[in-house]
Amino acid sequence: MKKFLCGFGVALFFALPFPANGATPLATIEANVNRVLDVLRDPALKAESAKEAKKQKIRAISEEMFDEKELAKRTLARNWEKLTADQRQEFILLYRKVLEKVYMDKILSYTNEKIVFDKANVLGSDKAEVETRIITSSKEIPIMYRVILRDGAWKVYDVVIEGVSLVQNYRSQFNELLAKNSPEQVLDILRKKVQET
């Protein structure tokens, strides 16, 4: 299970968008995941004292990797309209921080699992799905990146692992929260979650 989570964390968080310049979604995902693996394997960042520096590098990449607004809108779905413009901006920021808190340690504990980049399925002029696999000592885990073309770069707006969509998983949780709480109350829940040590 640990290897699964490590591989998932790496696959999920690091598809840093490069300028398109004709780059395909598959080539972009492959290049960017490999760049993150270089950070994780960097001998200069192996020591415990370098952990925060490694986190900062990873954080900088993760802030660029997603189309964060698209991710947030798809996660909230119809509930997006319940939020004011200011609440939407705060939700985008808090959601990213929550995801970071959930996955950062798993990413840092990466243990050199192999990642295979299989193919891209074009869904339209600005969307595609990139199929990859994480290969551990005991199994292969399918990971699919859903990407969208924004300002000349392919950006991730959802990740599906073994048939489970990140967006759909969190959507069900936020639907439940927003059925019982106001948008401001939900934001307060997220603020407190982000502040937890």
User: How crowded is residue 118: how many other Cβ atoms within 10 Å of its Cβ?
Assistant: 12
Question: ∠ at Cα 4 (133, 77), nearest 5°?
Answer: 75
Q: pTM for this one?
A: 0.81
Q: How many residues does the chain have?
A: 197
DSSP single-letter state for residue 19: B
Does 130 score more than 90 pLDDT? yes
Tell me which H or E stretch contains 23: none
**At residue 95, what is the residue type?**
Y
Does 19 score more than 50 pLDDT? no
For residue 51, how far is the Cα from the chain centroid?
20
Does 145 score more than 60 pLDDT? yes
What six digits make up the tokens of 153?
Answer: 């770069």
Average pLDDT over residues 171-187: 96
Q: How confident is the model at residue 17 (pLDDT cuts 50, 70, 90)?
A: very low
| Residues 60, 34, 121, 161, Cα dihedral to 10° | -70
> Could you report the per-residue pLDDT of 72-113, keeping only the tens digit for each?
999 999 999 999 999 999 999 999 999 888 888 878 888 788
Domains of the chain, start order: 2-195 (3.10.450.710)
pLDDT of residue 151: 87
DSSP letter for each residue of 31-82:
HHHHHHHHHHH-GGG-SGGGHHHHHHHHHHHHHHHB-HHHHHHHHHGGGGGG
Q: How confident is the model at residue 129 (pLDDT cuts 50, 70, 90)?
A: very high
